[in-house]
Amino acid sequence: MVYVTDFRCFRCGRIHKPHEIERLPIPRCECGGPLDAEYDYRAIQKVILRDDFMRAKPTHWKYWAFMPVKDLSRIITMGEGGTPLLENKRLGENGRLLIKYEAANPTGSFKDRGSSLEITKALEFRKHRVALASTGNMGASVAAYAAYAGLECRVFIPDIAGKEKITQIKAYGSETVAVEGDYSVAIRQVEEYVISNSDSFLTGDYPWRSEGTKTVGFEIADQLYWHVPDYVVVPVGNGTLIWSIYEAFRELALVGITDRMPRIIGVQVEACAPVVHAWENKLDEIIPVRDPKTVATAIACGDPIDGLAALRAIRDSDGFALRVSDGEALAARDKLARNGIFVEPSGAVAYAGVMKKGLSGTVVVLATGHGLKDMVGLG
């Protein structure tokens, strides 16, 4: 059973059939734009609008109908998703503040949702190896799922990646390539690599990953008994997470399970805020930042792959974008930790945005990566 019908180019609108996309070493439109999956939403309605679905415990693969998978008996899963939506009264000021604690995933970040789908696809395409560029968390996640599935993994790592994260990647048996340069340079290198090594499957912020990442959004609505929160506050690196959350809420409204969109708020750090800059200046392009330096290494994406998609998620949902300093991110990290919720600096950036802005109503904040991954400034 597979309900995906087309992949539409985000930039030029061109429609591609799934088999056309599956042949490409780099799943992207001819014009260079990112691709977005579209589904047969009427068929999905039959699966979704049922009591057993509505009441089943939220887990990543509960939402399989919204993912482009051919054979459900062959999915690679390590129990990703189903993460808690924590409500700690001491963290909110006006209204209801809920923390989506993505650190509870198998490798400590939300990246496991996308990896589960990507590695499932790599096996479906009979690949033997996966390759990617990563500042750490995606590398660790793909390395784990590849190892679990018996695939080789090669990770191109830019110089900003933290030591603990590189150790985690190596622990799973991955090969690592140290890249001289920032994340954008690492992306160029891995894309060249998969073009000349056709047995390697490219993972990263391409369509499979964003389709898998949508389940964060589905779970948030599900955990609120299918009510839509007023705000969802998200850290923005490549922009894939914020775009996937937007897509999830859009699809839930399309199938008629919810009736509105939350306002989606994107938060970046001062040293790397190309999406915030575009939002503030009403631009329709993202101006890259070269070689960004910040404690929030997981969002140090100077030339974000899904930057325009992030911008659209913010604009179309009537949200906004804001930046916080490294100091504010660390203060937010410390406050969360003192209330029992431990995240790495990038994982505290969204909460830092809420501390700065003070939102009312029901606010869901993404806490994206585990505190044990990067303990800068502690102890």
Ligand X SMILES: *Cc1c(COP(=O)(O)O)cnc(C)c1O
Is 212 a binding residue for ligand X by CB under 6 A? The answer is: no
CA 85 to the chain's CA centroid: 17
The only residue of 238, 258, 294, 362 in contact with ligand X, by rule CB under 6 A: 238
62 pairs with which residues across the strands? none
Q: Which of 65, 236, 321, 324 binds ligand X (CB under 6 A)?
A: 236
Instruction: For strands 96-101 and 85-87, give the pairing.
Output: antiparallel
Contacting ligand X (CB under 6 A), which of 299, 311, 330, 352? 299
Whose tokens are 């800068």? That residue is 376
Do residues 202 and 125 make contact, with C-beta atoms less than 8 angstroms apart? no
Question: 10 with 240: CB under 8 angstroms?
Answer: no
The answer to the question of residue 184 lying near ligand X (CB under 6 A) is: no
Name, in order, each residue with C-beta under 8 angstroms of 363's C-beta and a sequence gap of 6 or more: 92, 95, 96, 97, 98, 229, 230, 231, 232, 233, 354
Helix (H) or strand (E) run with residue 200 in it: strand 200-202
Closest CB to ligand X among residues 92, 136: 136
CA distance 104 to 58: 14
CB 156 within 8 A of CB 134: yes
The verdict on 298 binding ligand X (CB under 6 A) reads yes
Kindly indicate which of the ranges 234-242, 276-284, 311-319, 322-330 contains the residues binding ligand X, using the contact rule CB under 6 A: 234-242
Q: Which is nearer to ligand X, 113 or 154 (CB)?
A: 113
Instruction: Identify residues 100-139 at the interface with ligand X (CB under 6 A).
Output: 109, 111, 137
* Shortest Å distance, C-beta 205 to ligand X: 6
Residues touching ligand X, count (CB under 6 A): 18
Stretch that binds ligand X, among 11-19, 56-64, 230-238, 322-330 (CB under 6 A): 230-238
Count the Cβ atoms, other than its own, within 10 Å of residue 126: 8
Q: Show the site string, 308-347: x = touches ligand X by CB under 6 A, - = not.
A: ------------------------------------x-xx
Q: Are strands 231-235 and 362-367 parallel, antiparallel or unpaired?
A: parallel
Stretch that binds ligand X, among 11-19, 47-55, 296-304, 320-328 (CB under 6 A): 296-304
Residue closer to ligand X, measured from CB, 135 or 200: 135
Which chain residues interact with ligand X by CB under 6 A?
109, 111, 137, 235-241, 298-299, 301, 344, 346-347, 368-369
